[in-house]
Amino acid sequence: MSESAATCHEFRAEVRKVLNIITHSLYTNREIFLRELISNASDALDKVRFLQNRGDSVREPELPLEISITMDKIAKALTIADTGIGMNREEMVENLGTIAKSGSEQFLRDLAESSGEKENGQGDAASIIGRFGVGFYAVFMVADKVEVTSRSATDDAPACVWTSEGEGAFTVAPAENGPARGTVIRVYLKEDAAEFLEKYRLEGIIRKHSAFIPFAVKVETERVNTTPALWREPKFSITMEQYSEFYQFLTHDTKAPLDTLHLAVDVPVQFNALLFIPDAEQNDFFGAARDHWGLDLYVKRVLIQRENKELLPEYLGFMKGVVDTEDLPLNISRETLQENVLLRKIQQTVAKQALTHLERMAADKPEDYAKFWKLHGKIFKLGYHDYVNRDRVAALMRFNSSIHGTGGDLCSLDEYIGRAREGQKDIWYLAAPGHEAAKLNPHGELFHRKGIELMYLYEPIDEFVVEGLGKYKDFTFKSVENVKEDALDAFDDIVDAAKPKPRELAGEELSAFDALMAGMKDILGDRVKEVRVSHRLADSPACLVSPDGMSSSMEKLLRVMQKDETVPQKILEINRDHPLARALLLIHKANAQDPLLADMVQTLFDNCLLMDGYLKDPHALVARSNSLLERTGQWYAELRKL
């Protein structure tokens, strides 16, 4: 391909999809196209400043770093020019022909979701467009045609012009008279977008969305943005509105932050930080945008790196904000930022301050804290890794528990300990998919009878968290499934006086019961490892227990990960005091070969599998249950002489 020829290119498929949505269905909030173009210009200027600070040579080094906007009412065109890094021909094809970040799929999905929520209609397009790097294409909300003329700051390539009408294709050709350095974007406005030729309108948009751009943004030679680096200003001089505006500028969130931390630290490292706790969930923290966290690092007000992950422990990854330090050289390279000791020290201070802040919030503003936990608790729980601050992190965690209803009331570990029974040394937990399942789980029965509170863990990660913590203060985390036979003997039952106590088995009856257990094992064969008497049940007749002491939810998680679909061989435990067990005992004593006994034992076992989510084939269970019901019905009718 000759350097001087014009070439025509097709957009990549995902770009066409995104463009199609942008040009045909986004009508509200169109003004954010300008924010996206200015933000790209600012990024391009940042890159030049970065190179210059490092001592690299760039084209036209004397040119000021700025963004100029001009309007041409006759041609109905708006021009946004910057003196930034620019692009050569290949970079234009690459950067403006594909979607920069891998988020296009996610973008399409989120867009579909947000337009499904009729209330704010397409309003959310604004935040979604910014978040997923389809930024540049937002211009086609207002343009019939766009020309991007650019000259790279780092090579000698001639200026080129990229042109597209936002349909399927674009062309790239040599430019007649390109800028000395940087990029000029000429936007031919659609018929219904003439408002964007008005100076006051443009100034309004810039003040609203681009106030904190660290370079001059001029409309017809007049500078519009004058807000300084807010994090360097003294706290008392800053209003809540300013914090909020800065937060929205930074995150493209449409709401105000839940909370703000403004830090000015001198030892062991000098830095200023402005940190926010968003009032919105980080939906994709564990998904598509896995790497979308960190703090923006500035050195002496110059942006060095966005989303730096050395500045923040991962479990505080829900926080957004900036850190600015004087203690690093401006010409630091991105490589030396990794594993940097200074950044580590900043991270430690940021973590400590954030924890102090959250502790205060929990004590003084419990409603805000509950909101924080609901939005960010999932990420914060990862803090069980933080050995240095482990007790503080644990104290800030919130859990569901057996003494709360489904209303979403949560408790802290200190509250749990405060309610522990005299002499209790363990924090008992039970993993289940939800409140109802937890309440009915047979493993909890003994604890309920003894009035011992249980932590209910509803999410798979919770078990890793409590096992990772191991202990809290003098208490050890223990799964109810691993309770030792005599562990709760010291605690009296808090018995319901009205409830009759079952008659204890004695002497011969005990050995008859052992024979029953052996008989049950014969009936079930390899389906169980062992059948034994349970010491953990109060109301249920039976339950399954893992032989190796692993909790059943953890075991299930591992089996899913290993794609193991077989039914694990477990121990069947029988509640000796349960009327059903007593009935089995009588039948067994009379005739160990009674076919009814086999049917009952099989059904009891299948019911346990069903409870634990392991029942594969319901047909046998249903057929057997129906046959049992049929017989029970007949006996009842005979007995009552109906």
Residues that bind Mg ion (CB under 5 A): 40, 135
CB 146 within 8 A of CB 37: no
Bond before 595 cis per omega within 30 degrees: no
Q: How far is the CB of 420 from ligand ADP (least distance, A)?
A: 52
Q: How far is the CB of 133 from ligand ADP (least distance, A)?
A: 3
Q: How far is the CB of 445 from ligand ADP (least distance, A)?
A: 55
Q: How far is the CB of 546 from ligand ADP (least distance, A)?
A: 49
Give the helix ranges, DSSP H, for 27-182: 32-54, 89-97, 104-116, 125-131
- Picked from ligand ADP, Mg ion, none, the partner binding residue 44 (CB below 5 to 8 A depending on kind) is ligand ADP
Residue by residue, DSSP assigns 573-590 as EE-TTSHHHHHHHHHHHH
Closest-by-Cβ residue to ligand ADP is 135
* Pick 99 or 269: Cβ nearer Mg ion: 99
* Pick 130 or 444: Cβ nearer Mg ion: 130
- Picked from ligand ADP, Mg ion, none, the partner binding residue 84 (CB below 5 to 8 A depending on kind) is ligand ADP
CA gap 160, 4 in Å, rounded: 9
* Pick 136 or 399: Cβ nearer ligand ADP: 136
Of 224, 218, 223, which Cα lies nearest the Cα of 71? 218
CB 424 within 8 A of CB 452: yes
Q: How far is the CB of 191 from ligand ADP (least distance, A)?
A: 25
Report the length, in residues, of the chain: 642
Q: How many CB atoms are closer than 10 A to CB 521?
A: 17
**Three-state SS letters, 235-248:** HHHCCHHHHHHHHH
CA gap 281, 367 in Å, rounded: 16
Side chain identity at residue 27, one-letter code: Y
- Picked from ligand ADP, Mg ion, none, the partner binding residue 460 (CB below 5 to 8 A depending on kind) is none
- In sequence order, the 6+-apart residues with CB closer than 8 A to the CB of 454 are 401, 402, 428, 429, 430, 438, 444, 447, 448, 480
* Pick 67 or 600: Cβ nearer ligand ADP: 67
CB 320 within 8 A of CB 346: no
Of 458, 474, 478, 480, which Cα lies nearest the Cα of 466? 478
Q: How far is the CB of 99 from Mg ion (least distance, A)?
A: 11
Binding site for ligand ADP (CB under 6 A): 36, 40-41, 43-44, 82, 84-87, 95-96, 100-101, 133-136, 183
- Picked from Mg ion, ligand ADP, none, the partner binding residue 313 (CB below 5 to 8 A depending on kind) is none
* Pick 52 or 602: Cβ nearer ligand ADP: 52
- Picked from Mg ion, ligand ADP, none, the partner binding residue 46 (CB below 5 to 8 A depending on kind) is none
Q: How far is the CB of 96 from ligand ADP (least distance, A)?
A: 6
* Pick 42 or 248: Cβ nearer ligand ADP: 42
- Picked from ligand ADP, Mg ion, none, the partner binding residue 41 (CB below 5 to 8 A depending on kind) is ligand ADP
Q: How far is the CB of 49 from Mg ion (least distance, A)?
A: 17
CA gap 20, 388 in Å, rounded: 51
* Pick 130 or 313: Cβ nearer ligand ADP: 130
Q: How far is the CB of 138 from Mg ion (least distance, A)?
A: 9
* Pick 162 or 472: Cβ nearer ligand ADP: 162
CA gap 69, 175 in Å, rounded: 20
Closest-by-Cβ residue to Mg ion is 135
* Pick 102 or 333: Cβ nearer ligand ADP: 102
CB 404 within 8 A of CB 412: no
